[in-house]
Amino acid sequence: GEGSIDSSSVMGKGVGAVASLCRDLGVPCLGMGGVLGRSPRIKREFTAVHQIVGTVADETTAFARPKESLASLAESVAASWRS
Rounded CA separation 8/38 (Å): 11
Residues in contact with 37: Cβ distance below 8 Å, sequence separation at least 6, in sequence order: 4, 5, 6, 7, 9
Output the pLDDT for position 16.
87
Give the gyration radius of the chain's Cα atoms. 13
- Residue-wise pLDDT for 15-32, tens only, equals 889 999 999 999 999 999
- pTM strictly above 0.95: no
Give the three-state DSSP class for 39.
Answer: coil
- What proportions of the chain, in percent to the nearest 5, are helix, strand and coil? 55, 20, 25
